[in-house]
């Protein structure tokens, strides 16, 4: 373990994910925030943008160039299409690069073109990038310097389904995923749907069967299944600030019961610090993961219809974004994986 602190720079530090990274890294024993990049607020203290940081982090928001000059690792919290150039610059300077956007998540360029409207501009970097969901791909993460931090919905869904698919406990066809996210998942810039009067005391699905996280979800689940699979995915907007809860429905394979399923999940996640299996009869709840890097999973069966029902809960800004990014940083720098992430959710 390196005795000197890792210098962490953030591009897009004044967005929600960037601000959450600042919050987490301020409590990290082996890393420090050395640069907070922002186009919108360049020249202002980040604590002027987020007053909760006053006295804890008063860094002046700076340019991308300054972030690169001051960092051992760069976190990019920017829209799709922007990270590939940043990754190239980091690669040239031997700076670790963790992308919280979508640029490196999809392996198939045609999928990226279909869902994001553009191709890969740096195919050499895509060949080196690793899809960085620690509980599933830790060994690959350890040897990479370009990491694609998973999306928030795909994180909750992959952790929920991967053990069952890999073990052949469920049918590969007909999987239905019903997910709900807090409003922070839409980012800091307001829109008609995230404006307070529009989302308060409201609850609605959006981008039905057309959400950009769909190919990412299918890519990971296909690895678990050993063949290409497709799912039905419908996200919903919850009138809360943060959190994702995904309820997954899949047909059980013949002879599979809840005891077998539970044993499979217990074995799969027995050494995972941040995945918690709920006890029988309990259900995963957003409240129990708030502000933390935990993913809570509860397992249920409908014996009448032969259906496995999995409920997965994460904080979309932590395990679904900034927390998972810090977890990935810890892995590539050979730090304790839970460093800076030992956060217990509030009881209420």
- Centroid of chain to Cα 141: 15
Annotated catalytic residue within 57, 61, 90, 152: 152
Strands (E), 58-119: 73-76, 96-99
Q: Give the Cα separation of 219 and 183 in Å (integer).
A: 25
Return the structure tokens found at 182. 């807090």
**Sign, Cα dihedral of 215, 145, 340, 50:** negative
**Sign, Cα dihedral of 97, 98, 101, 103:** positive
Cα radius of gyration rounded to whole Å, the chain:
20
Coil, helix or strand for 68? helix
- Centroid of chain to Cα 144: 18
Answer for the pair 347, 24: CB distance below 8 angstroms, yes or no. no
Q: Give the Cα separation of 65 and 322 in Å (integer).
A: 22
Q: Give the Cα separation of 41 and 126 in Å (integer).
A: 31
| 57 included as an active-site residue | no
Coil, helix or strand for 339? coil
Q: Give the Cα separation of 57 and 254 in Å (integer).
A: 56
The DSSP element (H or E) to which 98 belongs, if any, is: strand 96-99
Answer for the pair 283, 298: CB distance below 8 angstroms, yes or no. yes
Active-site amino acid positions = 152
């Amino acid at each position: 373990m390196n005795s000197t602190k890792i210098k962490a720079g953030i591009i897009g530090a004044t967005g929600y994910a960037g601000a959450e990274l600042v919050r987490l890294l301020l409590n990290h024993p082996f890393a420090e925030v050395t640069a907070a990049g922002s186009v919108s607020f360049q020249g202002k203290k980040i604590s002027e943008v987020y007053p909760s940081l006053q006295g804890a982090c008063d860094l002046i928001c700076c340019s991308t160039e300054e972030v690169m000059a001051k960092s051992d690792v760069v976190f990019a919290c920017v829209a799709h299409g922007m990270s590939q150039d940043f990754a190239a610059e980091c690669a040239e300077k031997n700076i670790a690069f963790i992308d919280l956007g979508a640029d490196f998540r999809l392996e198939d360029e045609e999928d990226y073109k279909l869902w994001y409207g553009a191709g890969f501009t740096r195919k050499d970097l895509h060949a080196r990038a690793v899809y960085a969901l620690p509980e599933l791909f830790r060994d690959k993460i350890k040897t990479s310097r370009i990491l694609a931090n998973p999306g928030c919905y795909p994180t909750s869904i992959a952790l929920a389904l991967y053990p069952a698919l890999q073990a052949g406990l469920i049918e590969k066809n007909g999987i239905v995923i019903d997910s709900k996210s807090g409003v922070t998942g839409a980012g800091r810039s307001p829109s008609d749907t995230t404006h307070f009067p529009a989302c308060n005391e409201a609850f609605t699905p959006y981008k039905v069967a057309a959400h950009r996280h769909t190919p990412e979800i299918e890519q990971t689940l296909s690895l678990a299944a050993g063949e290409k699979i497709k799912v039905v995915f419908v996200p919903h907007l919850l009138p809360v600030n943060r959190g994702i809860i995904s309820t997954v429905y899949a047909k059980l394979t013949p002879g599979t019961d809840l005891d077998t399923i539970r044993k499979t999940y217990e074995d799969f996640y027995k050494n995972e610090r941040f995945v918690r299996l709920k006890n029988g009869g309990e259900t995963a709840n957003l409240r129990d993961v708030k502000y933390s890097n935990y993913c809570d999973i509860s397992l249920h069966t409908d014996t009448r219809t032969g259906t496995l029902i999995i409920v997965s809960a994460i904080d979309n800004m932590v395990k679904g974004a900034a927390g998972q990014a810090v977890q990935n940083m810890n892995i590539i720098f050979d730090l304790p994986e839970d460093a800076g992430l030992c956060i217990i959710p509030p009881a209420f």
